[in-house]
Homo-oligomer: A and B are copies of this chain.
Amino acid sequence: MDKKIEALQLKAAELTRESHALGIPVMVVFEGVPASGKTRLTNELLLTLDAKYTHFIATKTPSEHDLRYQFLQNYWNTLPSKGDINIYFRSWYAHFIDYKIHGIKKSTFKHYDKLKAEIHAFESMLQNDAHEIIKFYIQINEEKRQEHINEMKDNPLTNWKAQEYENVIPSDVYRQEFQHILNDEWEVIDYTNRTHAIQHMYEHLIARLEKAIHRHHNRKKKINGAFSEPFSTDIFNVQIEKTRKSDYDALLLSLQLRLKELQFALYERKIPLILVYEGMDAAGKGGNIKRVREYLDPTGYEVNAISAPTDVELNHHYLWRFAKDMPKSGHIEIFDRSWYGRVLVERVEGFATYDEWSRAYDEINAFEQMWVNDGAIVLKFFLTLDKDEQLKRFKDREQNINKQWKITDEDWRNREKWDLYLEASHDMIEKTQHPHAPWLIVPADHKKSARIEVLKYIIQKCEERLWGVKYY
């Protein structure tokens, strides 16, 4: 073993023990044409790092199963947790080229610029959250590359694998596409000389890890604050039609049955539907969701009621727990509270720093955009309540033996911060209101009217998408 390489291995191992201990998530990307040496380099690195926190993630051409999910789904699902190191054998870049050159979902993505923008947003939000992304592009002398391929072809046991090599993305196409991707974020390694390539990889990795560790130690403690800006509550002053008691049952049922039909239509057209509920405590989110789901086919929808994060969730990027529960094509996912917790409870209670929650609006917009790009309908409901009406409902819950479990000390504590929550809600709606992922503000003082309002809106938006019907 080359003494120099051995020293580099030891150094890399040492630094990754440190980045692990510090909780820095590290993502190491290997791209390059088939038979360029990616396999040997990634395995070299794998052998050096501690398997306890190192993961290997390979990108293959998407199966039918994969295509039912968002373009970046697999990368969301496998994000490293704090202190872990993910090694990507091909990455979202090869995945992008695969989509583009094979025209995957072309009618959805057109020129695939959206996907490029997604990749940019994905990396940016991870980097903002202290993820270290290290990207290698491996090149090799073409003669040498053919030697590698021939070695495999000559062996009857590996011959089939050699033939697979060029099948998915022809090397020249891949190489050409990568010319538009490569920039100074990439470290290009020439594998023509194996020993130099290994040295080069370790040297760059070490430099990057040292920087990341240095940055970690110098990160300023972020201050909370920037509250109590003047803002207007006009945004919440919405009127909805009041449903008469005598009309309610029949109207509700007809809307529910219509929604059930639409569920099948969405399924057939493979359109995912994402419903997000936020709102003041006791505004009736649960009861509203119950009416939406009441007649749906349970094999096609899921309710994700968000509780406090688990340890494992806390150790990941805050969007991870939501991303991995997004619906596949044709399915409906209902979030009872959601990623907006970042700019609501986490902002108000100081669980997120000013820096974290103030950049979260853009991150959330980019996040929702990814599913919208993939054809999802995203609808967001904010249920508002008069402060006195909330008090009445809290008291009612305390007195009703079947509702007591719904009211906790936390609810009373949140109520004391009414104005802070109001401001956070105001900012959230203002900064994340988009035609492709709209907020509907629903006054919920009258629960039945609120349910009818939400159901009508969902139906309207689904019909618009399905058949281009417009309501004005």
Contacts and interface: CB of A to CB of B under 8 A. Distances in A.
B294 A47 contact: yes
Nearest to A297: B39
6 contacts: A43-B294, A46-B298, A51-B336, A52-B307, A158-B264, A161-B297
Contact of A58 (B261, B299, B304, B307): B299
Contacts of A262: 157
A426 interface: no
Interface in A353-412: 402, 405
Given A51-B305, A52-B307, 7 more contacts: A17-B405, A43-B293, A43-B298, A46-B303, A56-B302, A157-B265, A310-B311
Nearest to A56: B298
Interface in A13-52: 13-14, 17, 39, 42-43, 46-47, 50-52
Closest 3 interchain pairs by CB?
A51-B305, A51-B303, A157-B261
Contacts of A50: 305
Given A56-B298, A56-B302, A297-B39, A264 B157 contact: yes
Nearest to A405: B17
Interface string A145-184: 0000000000101101100000000000000000000000
A303 B56 CA distance: 9
A51 B31 CA distance: 42
A396 B47 CA distance: 22
Contacts of A303: 46, 51
A296 interface: yes
A298 B299 CA distance: 37
A205 B261 CA distance: 31
A10 interface: yes
Contact of A312 (B42, B157, B312): B312
A264 B402 contact: no
A89 interface: yes
A65 B392 CA distance: 52
A14 B56 CA distance: 45
A47 B89 contact: no
A239 interface: no
A384 B64 CA distance: 47
A268 interface: yes
Nearest to A10: B402
Contact of A293 (B47, B89, B265): B47
Contacts of A265: 157
Given A294-B47, A296-B43, A160 B305 contact: no
A12 B336 CA distance: 22
Nearest to A313: B312
Interface in A125-162: 155, 157-158, 160-161
A63 interface: yes
Contacts of A312: 310-312
Most B CB atoms within 10 A — which of A14, A294, A299? A299
Contact of A39 (B13, B155, B298, B302): B298
A417 interface: no
Scoring A161, A298, A310 by chain B CB atoms within 10 A of each residue's CB, the highest score goes to: A298
A116 interface: no
A75 B369 CA distance: 33
A7 to B, nearest CB: 10
A208 interface: no
A110 interface: no
Interface string A63-79: 11100000000000000
A290 interface: yes
A320 B63 CA distance: 26
A58 B405 CA distance: 30
A305 B52 contact: yes
Interface string A260-292: 011011001000000000000000000001100
Contact of A42 (B294, B298, B307): B298
B299 A89 contact: yes
Given A47-B290, A304-B51, A312-B312, A161 B298 contact: no
